[in-house]
Structures are given as C-alpha cells and as structure tokens.
Structure 1
C-alpha cells in the first residue's frame, strides 16, 4: 500500500503526499530528537525534511523510501549543525535548561534519561548507528545504506559505540 501512496505522491497527488507525512512524521521527529535536535527545533527540522521530500520525491527512484527518508533527515540535521556550529555550546546549554529537560522528564525514566545523555555525547559516527539500530530497528545493512558506508563499517562503529557507552556507565558506577 505504501508503494501506491509513493507512486501517487510522485505524480503530484497532494492527498498521497499528506498521507506520507502523516505516516512518517513521528519517525522523523523521533530520529531528530535522538540525533540531538532540541525540542524547540524539531518542528522546523521536520518541516525542512518534508520540504526536501516534496522537492526531490520525483527523483527518488531506488531503495526503500524509509531509508531515503532517514538519509534526508540525517543530512538536514548535519546541515543545521554545520550552520550553527559557533553557537553550539550556547544552544546545548539552553537545551539542557529548557526543552530537552522538560521533554525527558515527561517521557523517560531516570535510566533512559541517563542513556540518552550518554548517547548524545558520542561522536556522530557512533551515535547515528546506535540510534538507527536500537530505536528505529534498522538492520546493519539498512544503516550502511543510510550512511553510505560498508556494513563492516557499521558493525565496527556499533562495537565501538557500545564499548564507549559501557565505559561511561562504569565511570558513573565508580562515582556512586
């Protein structure tokens, strides 16, 4: 059924495009949040993603739509971070004080909050595969496709990310 909606949307059917947005909106928002986008910016980033989907959907001819959507989302987030790099420290401080903290307190328990912060501290090349695999149920093959790297690179990054997360948990345990 999704393929039919995609085909109609590619031909300019607005109802089909609205259906695609409705179907994938929460996935894009969740992925943005997990990539470290502040709660206050999620709507803007999501809007930018779907503008790009609208503009480039007719040119999308290969691969799964969801894989392409993850790639677009990741690229939009990266573009935003490049553009705002000078203000990154200030934005991070504001996020911790305002939006992200409120969102986390509402929706996650203490352990999940801790894990979220640890994941956010990882380098992007480790953070993204962890998020895609554990929170979006993508296989290593699909992650490799999204990131445009080999499956072996994904496996390696996953192992390193897990190791780094274990080290962080161990350090916290020693302090208690």
Structure 2
C-alpha cells in the first residue's frame, strides 16, 4: 500500500495503517540513528521514541516527502538523546572527581567554586531577553524537550526551535567564555 494512503488512514485513527508504516520504516530508521547513538539498545529506544513522535506529528505532515520527514525526526531525536547522555556523563564524572578528592579543604573549595559558577550562570541567564530566558531555562536547566516547552508556552514546536536558535546566537554575541 502506498505511504500517502497509509498516512491518511493513520491520521484518521487506523492503528493497523500506522503499524504498517512502522514495519516498513523500522529497520531504516534504526540504521539512521545507530551511527549517532552508537549503541544497539539506545538505537532501538530512539527508533521507538521516533515513532511515537511521528504518530503525534502525523496530522502536521504536509506531504513534502515522508521518508525525508521521518529521517529528520529520527536524527533530531537521536541528537537530543546523545546530548542528554553527554550531560549526564559529564555530571557523573564531576561527581566522581569530587568523591576522589580526599582533603576536606579541597572538597570544600571545589564545592564552593561549583556553587559560585552555578550562581554566575544563573545571574547571566537573568540578563537574557525575556523571550529567550524561558526557553533556555526550560531546555538547559530543567532539561525539557521541545514538545514539552511548546505545550507549556502554547506555541508550535518550530517556534521553540527558532527561539532556542536565536537565544544561542544572542549568547554567542553577548557573552564571552572568559566571563565564566
């Protein structure tokens, strides 16, 4: 059956049509995300998460090339997962280093420096223009995904993407790494 017909049926609520799309593209999307996440289990999870996103986004699909559209969703999902894993690993490494430091004075100094650095970042975030501050805090501090932020702000996911992009450009233009 042709993709466009399956998509129309899936949008109309036909679960079997969506299952057929999943079966047709499951292996393809797995192969797309695997090089990004570099782990079989993670690739399976990202593929499954991608199909969930596709299911909810199907009504917005505008017949611009289904395979290209789902590939973009899969890649963005894989990149988001990879970023979150890197952040968690960095945090775990920082905690491990702190545990290995034996002297209480050194531990206290490191802890104080981290606290001060967090305060500097919080202060600098408050300097952001209002329209960028919320999206930066939601995405980087509370680690919400684009969809969650969009739902909370009652805007489209694309609007969140654009706000984040513009906020990052603003930060690059106005902040210097030495300030931290």
Query: Normalising by the residue count of structure 1, what TM-score does the alignment of the two structures yield?
Result: 0.47
Q: Greater Rg, structure 1 or structure 2?
A: 2
Higher-RCO chain (CA-CA 8 Å, sequence separation at least 6): 1
